[in-house]
Structure 1
Amino acid sequence: MARVVAVHGIGKQTLGEDTLRKQWLPALNDGLTRADRAERLSESDVAVAFYGDLFRPDGEFLAAGDPPYTAADVAEGFEQHLLLAWWKAAAASDPAVVPPDADDTLVATPQSVQAALRALSGSRFFAGVALRAMVFDLKQVHHYLTDPDLHAKALARVVDQISADTRVVVAHSLGSVIAYEALCARPGHQVRALVTLGSPLGIENLILHRLRPAPLTFGGKAQGVWPGSEQLAWTNLADQGDVVALVKDLRPAFGDRVACAVVHNGAHAHDASAYLTDKLCGQAIADGLA
């Protein structure tokens, strides 16, 4: 079985295990090179826990790709609040994005949803992303957290890839949420390093409180369960402009043992390959394999 398990993020429903391995493997090795490590990974070393197809609608003649979502399809509650959080984060890091009004950060309305999508479509982060794809990404996060059947199937995809030989789990975006829950669901696992990239795990009200197992409470403050033994090293990397990784520092949510760092991915703030090629990512992976 593979020594490294890779868990992809949102928006990969039209890809697959082999496609993603071909994308991730060179980037993983580039990160090891940047870290001045002699270790090199082969295809047999890396397993991709693929769950994207669970979000892909069944094909129909003359209709393919993502559903033709519009602003009206952004559901009240979770999806509206996450969208507005993305808007606020994008405005904080991108001068070209008009910030939301104070009222819009507190109350989700049809008008604020329209404004958020319009503002985000002009941001660096969502440049070239179609509106329907943006809405589809929102729904993937929402459905994983709230749809018991889909949650169980996606979680099983990751749990099944973590074997006695697995030493490193590298997880991007929504995949970091699934990877965290998978490690918690495998007590006694032998994983030595968890590397999370562009992770939304630290978003308290929207993500943290919905995790399974539920976070513990210490002095009125929620803290996530540690996903392994005392020997597990957890490294979290986030680009300052990564809108999905709203909370860059996971230590308040999971404890001081999480090593958190801000990296610089340029114009591709949330891109998995940009994270994987970073020196700090290579170091964390190499240390887990050593």
Structure 2
Amino acid sequence: MARVVAVHGIGKQLLGERTLLQQWLPALNDGLKRAQAPDRLGDADVAMAFYGDLFRPQGEFLAVGDPPYTATDVTEGFEVELLLAWWSAAAASDPAVVPPGADTLVSTPRSVQAALRALSGSRFWAGVALRAMIFDLKQVHAYLTDPSLRAQALARVAEHIGEDARVVVAHSLGSVIAYEALCARPGHQVRALVTLGSPLGIPNLILHRLQPAPVQLGEQPLGVWPGGQRLVWTNLADDGDVVALVKDLRPSFGPHVRCARVDNGSHAHDATAYLTDRLCGQAIKDGLA
């Protein structure tokens, strides 16, 4: 079994394990080099827990790829609320994004259209098609509300967390799946959980829907610790990463989470940008030591 388990994020439904490993492995080793680690990871050291195909529409003639979503396909409730939260976060970090007004924060078709229009012109979503943006929304929603899909995605991650696994590196939605998979395997030997661009701390939308459910302590829910006392959890977030709405996970999971801000330049949510950072390399290096 591999010593490092990698868990990808949203929007990877058209890729696969080997394709993603070709992107992640050099970036992992670059991060380790920045951290002055003595060794490098080989193909046998890293396993990609791939779940993207669970979201891939079944191919049929003349209809291949993401569904042709429009603003009318964004459903009330979770999807609208997350979209508006993305808009607010993008406006806070990108001067080019017009901030939402009080009227547009109301869940209406007009607010959905305004949010999509604003995000499409943001630095964070530059070059992302509208239908892909909506598809990302629906992936997060589906994982949290479809028990069958959730169980399948968790199984994809859990199968790689064997006795040899020492480090789990998870990006974006993958950090939610990795967290739940570790919680579901008491006694695991993972020593380092590294979350990148994680939405785990978003109250109501993500945090309150986790399995196991957070413990309610007064007004602040506290997430279950995903391992034993030897587990070190490092969370990295870029200030401009819209998906990682809550950068500091300590209020949601306790003071032992090591949280850090990193600078990914114009690629705020890009997995490889996170992986090549020295702090990411250091966290992996410590977990393998």
How far did residue 237 of structure 1 move? 0.1
Q: Which residue of 2 aligns with 1:11?
A: 11
Counterpart-to-counterpart distance in 2, 1:81 and 1:102:
14
User: Segments of 4+ in structure 1 off by > 4 A?
Assistant: none
Counterpart code for 1:29:
N
What does residue range 94-105 of structure 1 map to in structure 2 within 5 Å? 94-105=94-105
CA deviation after TM superposition for structure 1 residue 108, in Å = 1.2
Query: What is the match of residue 36 of structure 1?
Result: 36
Partner of 2:21: 21
Counterparts of 2:51 and 2:29, CA distance in 1: 23
Could you tell which deviates more after superposition, 93-102 or 211-220? 211-220
Letter in 1 for 2:210: L
Q: Counterpart amino acid of 2:148?
A: D
Instruction: Give the aligned partner of residue 118 of structure 1.
Output: 117
Give the structure 1 partner of residue 203 of structure 2: 204
Shift of 1:219: 2.4
How far does residue 63 in structure 1 lie from its aligned partner after superposition? Answer: 1.3
SS at match of 2:128: coil
User: 1:32-90 deviations in whole A, cap 9, x for unaligned?
Assistant: 01111112100100000000000001000111110000000001000000000000000
Aligned twin of 1:155: 154
Q: For 1:2-43, what per-residue CA distance to the aligned partner results, in whole angstroms no more than 9, with x for missing partners?
A: 000000000000000011111100000000011111121001
What CA distance in whole angstroms lies between the structure 1 residues aligned with 2:179 and 2:245? 17
Match of 1:247 in 2: 246
What is the rounded CA distance, in whole Å, between the counterparts of 2:73 and 2:38 in structure 1? 49
Q: Distance in 2 between matches of 1:203 and 1:6?
A: 22
User: How far apart are the structure 2 equivalents of 1:180 and 1:153?
Assistant: 15
Q: Deviations over 1:91-148 (max 9, x none)?
A: 000000000012333x211000000000000000000000000000000000000001
Map 1:212-231 → 2, pairs under 5 A: 212-231=211-230
The normalised TM-score by structure 2 is 0.99
- Residue 52 of structure 2 corresponds to 52
What SS does the aligned partner of 1:68 have?
coil
SS of structure 2 residue aligned to 1:37? coil
**1:10 & 1:192 partners in 2: Cα distance?**
25
The residue matched to 2:151 in structure 1 has which SS? helix
- Taking the aligned partners of 2:218 and 2:81, their CA distance within structure 1 comes to 27
Corresponding position of 2:71? 71
Structure-2 residue corresponding to 1:195:
194
Cα offsets for 1:127-171 (capped at 9, x unmatched):
000000000000000000000110110111001110000000000
Which residue in the other structure is 2:89 paired with?
89
Corresponding residue for residue 286 of structure 2: 287
> TM-score, normalization: structure 1?
0.99
Distance 1:133 1:109 in 2: 21
Amino acid at match of 1:111: R
Query: How far, CA to CA, are the matches of 2:219 and 2:114 in structure 1?
Result: 35
Q: CA deviation at 1:228?
A: 0.1
Q: Aligned residues: percent identity?
A: 79
| Structure 2: 5+ residue stretches without partners | none
Cα distance in 1 between the residues matched to 2:25 and 2:76: 39
Cα separation, 2, equivalents of 1:219 and 1:108: 29
Q: SS at the partner of 2:103?
A: helix
8 Å contact kept, 2:104–2:114: no
What secondary structure does 1:132 align onto?
helix
Distance across 2 between alignment mates of 1:104 and 1:146? 26
User: Could you tell me which amino acid in structure 2 is paired with residue 122 of structure 1?
Assistant: G
Query: Where in structure 1 are there 5+ consecutive unaligned residues?
Result: none
Matched position secondary structure for 2:25: helix
* 2:256 corresponding residue in structure 1: 257
